[in-house]
A and B are shown apart, each in its own frame.
Chain A
Amino acid sequence: MSAVDTQNLETQVHHDEHHDHEHHEQSFIRKYIFSEDHKVIAKQFLITGIFWAVIGGVFSVIFRLQLGFPDANLEVLRPILGGWITEQGKLDQNFYLALVTMHGTIMVFFVLTAGLSGTFSNFLIPLQIGARDMASGFLNMLSYWFFFASSVVMFASIFIQTGPASGGWVIYPPLSALPKASLGSGLGMTMWLVSMALFIVGSLLGSINYVTTVINLRTRGMSMWRLPLTIWAFFLTAVIGILSFPVLFSAALLLIFDRSFGTSFYLDEIYIDGEALHNTGGSALLFQHLFWFLGHPEVYIVLLPALGITSEIIATNSRKPIFGYQAMVLSMLAITFISFIVWAHHMFVTGMNPFLGSVFMLLTLIIAVPSAVKSFNYITTLWRGNIVFTPAMLFSIGLVSFFISGGVTGIALGNSAIDIQLHDTYFVVAHFHLVMGSASFFGMMAGVYHWFPKMFGRMMDEKLGYVHFWITFVGVYFVFFPMHYIGIAGFPRRYYSWTNFDAFNMYADLNMLISIAAIITLSAQFIFMFNFFYSIFYGRLAPLNPWRSNTLEWTTSRLPGHGNWEGKIPTVYRWPYDYSKPGAKEDFIPQHIPHYETLESNLEHEKALEEYDKEVAKEEEIHISSHSH
């Protein structure tokens, strides 16, 4: 109730700032294509991300067909795949490798980095910190268009005759450095590198913008300790991006030189057909160090935004303050820091010094501590809350489930001795698909369901959302849980077929089950897509604050225009998690409600803030009136 009062008050008092952003109708191109508005850019990232997710998902199902049904005749796919189906009706072996590689690349970079972080950092940072837009709208636009250019190059590489890159998403040299090494190491690899270079530039432009916006453009009263956890997560994600993507850039740059300019950064004493190449003095292992120095933090670039989104959604829909706000922030800070000093756990079996291995093992296991803090805090937030099961809430809880079940196997994998047995088996595949792949994907879905009303001014259909959730949630476990067993049995990843190994025959059924589950899970995503695109146009009109949430984005109009707030930007008086505060009239008190309006629920230490808030409000009013005269 008090929320409504202040909103009215604000619109009455602050009509004067309208002149900033009322006139000048923008042309279609400036408004929807080359837009500098963070909300439009966010939607561009989201829709491009969905496009890539479909491609990445379909790719996975195609190679799952080969793995689950090795004897099947895939002639039906010839209209789509053409020459990649052999005359016997089998999937071409080179193309199988290309599918695996592209699935990884697309999902990690194009869907979960650009689609997740790009969408929600762009959309939520200005709206939740109370800013008109990003620090630089132009660089923000550039960031998307670099991503778009990178997408075009990567997409084109799928259609070339020699196929896209096929050396695995980690593109280790010398396989990737020598165009002769495999079919996909030729033009496909070149295009991969060009695309990634563009992607990195776009990602860096975005990250720099996010960090600066959070530091510089917070509204009055929005101290760092009053930021919603989403913003903390996006902020730290961007910091990781700034520090790690340049390293991938250097790795890619040196690889480009090796491939096209005859240098030997990664090459040393290589023989092809008995003939020595001229390259000497390089180190293939160096690439792995450079790659994983990005590659590991990349896991957190993908995961942290999902964790942030989940914190916000779980607190809102449990109608309870988030448990351990400061612990959440500190654990994210710890994850950020530790993520930079664990990269060599991807390289335990490269022949590294066992002592070094044990150091990296220790550091890796330490990451379990902040991760566990976060898990406990999610669960304790849910504990005895008045839980509202919206689709977004279900996906958030699903994330917590995957984060735990995938994280537990991480503790096993992090041991350098166990890794000798499990390295590059399906156990690893199961681990990271649960903890980072599915968890982040669920975070993204939760975010879409939760902020769809703010993005498009309409509601998504809840029932379809529930169907989507349950099929996906059960499906994901059916896909990835059996992989643990296959991995312990020693199945190596990225292999085209195991039919030559008698020992693995007994797992044929399990593989079939996984493939069927994968097909069903992918199909369920089309329910989401229908719901998403249908609701954009025909969904129920959204109320202003459909989830009764505290954060600032819900104080804007149904479809905020350029500049986000029609009047003045709201001032912030409290943290974002005042849910079910004892004595309060409603079970939520938004951030822009001053303490002098909530006398009935103020705690002992907040009494001092009543006076303080009054002064702040007065100052703001003086500020406004001096503007209008």
Chain B
Amino acid sequence: MDKKTSVHEDIPLFKQLEKQHPFLLMLYFAMVGSGMLFLFLLVGFTKSLIKVDENLLLLPKAFVISTLLILLSSYFVQKAWQNFLTDEAKSLRQNLLYLLILGFCFSISQVWGWSDLTKQGIGFSGKAAGSYLYVLTGLHILHLLGGLAFVIAQIANYNKACNDGVQALIMFSNKYEKMKMKMLKDYWHFLDVLWIIIFLYLVFKI
């Protein structure tokens, strides 16, 4: 009972977490949950590889393009974050617009990858190993579409700030707005890293 009453705790990471806005923390935990989902799909995929010929699966070229696109989009979301910190409403909106376009292009490129897969004879309802490629990418796109909805909401949000200096001032000094932007940035990087991990795993496993 003696030490319990000590006044200070020294868990630095925990202290940091405590200081975050709850919504941000919730996003992080949701990302952990999503991560588990993808992790176990990758485990299932690995197991299913035992039952297929080595050269049955070919990685569609479109997936390489997607990878470049999402890397580029992560660059723009980082720039948008910088813009928020330096109060540049116009370029902030501009960068979010690029992000939106790249996000859509990424999704289209993924779907294009699916048609490549089908052409190779790897259908959704074929061998299990092939089906995993669809499920992994499909769930990732779903996650990404959620992010895109958020981007659209943010663009609409910053439209006001672009035309009105007072609005901009209010917005950029608002802690809640900053947290929202940080949520967007972190979530987008999560999507990026998630895809890169899936992509690299596929490259080395196929």
Contacts and interface: CB of A to CB of B under 8 A. Distances in A.
Interface of A: 135-136, 139, 204, 207-209, 211-213, 215-217, 223-226, 242-247, 249-250, 253-254, 257, 261-265, 268, 278, 280-283, 286, 289-290, 293, 321, 325-326, 574-575, 605-606, 609, 612
A240 B178 CA distance: 31
B174 interface: no
Contacts of B32: 242-243
Contacts of A609: 5, 7
A217 B44 contact: no
B131 A263 contact: yes
A330 B51 CA distance: 43
A253 B135 contact: yes
Interface string B9-34: 10100100110111101100110111
Given A243-B36, A283-B48, A208 B26 contact: yes
B3 to A, nearest CB: 8
Contacts of A247: 36-37, 40
Give the interface size bracket for B toward A.
35 or more
Interface of B: 1-7, 9, 11, 14, 17-18, 20-23, 25-26, 29-30, 32-34, 36-37, 40-41, 43-44, 47-48, 51-52, 124-129, 131-132, 135
A265 B125 CA distance: 9
A250 B41 contact: yes
A279 to B, nearest CB: 8
Given A215-B25, A321-B1, 16 more contacts: A204-B33, A215-B18, A216-B17, A217-B22, A242-B33, A246-B34, A247-B37, A250-B41, A264-B127, A265-B44, A280-B127, A281-B127, A283-B51, A289-B43, A575-B4, A609-B5
A261 B132 CA distance: 13
Contacts of B124: 261-263
A208 B129 CA distance: 32
B23 A223 contact: no
Contacts of A326: 3-4
Contacts of A264: 125-128, 131
Nearest to B11: A224
18 contacts: A135-B23, A207-B29, A243-B36, A244-B36, A245-B33, A246-B33, A246-B40, A257-B131, A261-B124, A263-B131, A264-B125, A265-B131, A280-B128, A286-B48, A325-B4, A575-B5, A605-B2, A606-B5
B22 A225 contact: no
B52 A612 contact: no
A278 B124 CA distance: 13
Nearest to B131: A263
Contacts of B11: 224
Nearest to B56: A281
A139 B26 contact: yes
B33 A208 contact: yes
A286 B36 CA distance: 16
Contacts of B34: 246
Contacts of B51: 268, 280-283
Which 6 pairs between the two chains have the least Cβ-Cβ distance?
A262-B125, A135-B22, A281-B127, A281-B128, A246-B37, A282-B128
Contacts of B29: 207-208, 211-212, 242
B4 A225 contact: yes
A282 B21 CA distance: 44
B48 A282 contact: yes
Contacts of B127: 264, 280-281
A605 B14 CA distance: 26
Contacts of B132: 265
Contact of B22 (A212, A290, A574, A575): A212
A216 B25 contact: yes
B57 to A, nearest CB: 11
Contacts of B7: 223, 609, 612
Contacts of B128: 263-265, 268, 280-283
B167 to A, nearest CB: 26
Contact of A254 (B18, B22, B135): B135
Contacts of B9: 223-225
Nearest to B49: A281
B150 to A, nearest CB: 15
Nearest to A218: B18
A250 B1 contact: no
B129 to A, nearest CB: 6
Given A290-B44, A293-B40, A226 B4 contact: yes
A321 B125 CA distance: 60
A244 B17 CA distance: 22
A243 B33 contact: yes
Nearest to A287: B44
B38 to A, nearest CB: 8
